Amino acid sequence: MNEETPPATVRVFVALAPPDRAKDELARELRPAYDTHPHVRWNRIEDWHITLAFLGEIPTATVPLLRPPLARLASAHRPPRLALRGSGTFDDRVLWTGVDGDLDELHMLAADVRTAVKGCGVAFEDRPLRPHLTLARARRGDRSSMAEIAEGVAGFDGRRWPAERLHLVGSNFGRSAGPIHYRDIEAWALGGGSGPGV
């Protein structure tokens, strides 16, 4: 197979990303758990994100259609002020930290993102928004680590920060045996702020 041939589909989602200082704050809180639970599949800190719409596998040719409407709606939304707070698990297998702050603004932004994506003809599972950052996943058969870590981080109360950019993200999920990696396809300043497009 020719290595230069791009894949016919790409796994895509639209998200916000905490700034480095917010990620550093949470990483410091998690440091003891990194040491006591090295067997857990920890997400890379640089990949932490708040998913607004998960589109799944879409044709690569569809991605350019998403850019103009997402750019327009990013410009029209003011940056919500958010904070990372607390911790919990999904099904004892996935560790997360919660999101607090301007949640009404966040829900409106997510609704507009989903409307824009549907307007491009992309069908996806429109699940209710549960704002969170996924931090780690348990290995098969491990039913206790996530609850232990969540309990240790439950009191985390991060400082507020403005979500400055809307990110269209692609991932290599399922394409290799290694860890999942994410990359920005493009990002747009919220509220019409300045900054590079990627």
Q: Which residues pair with 57 in a beta bridge?
A: 11
Q: State the DSSP code for 137.
A: E
Which pair of structure tokens corresponds to residue 193?
A: 């702020």
Q: Confirm whether 181 is a catalytic residue.
A: no
* CA quadruple 82, 102, 136, 184: dihedral sign: negative
Phi and psi at residue 49, to the nearest 5°: -155, 165
Longest dimension (CA), the chain: 50
Catalytic residue among 49, 77, 167, 181: 49
Catalytic residue among 37, 39, 107, 132: 132
Alpha-carbon distance of 111 to 117, in angstroms, equals 10
Q: Confirm whether 37 is a catalytic residue.
A: no
- Classified as helix, coil or strand, 50 is strand
Alpha-carbon distance of 160 to 100, in angstroms, equals 8
| Active site positions, annotated | 49, 132
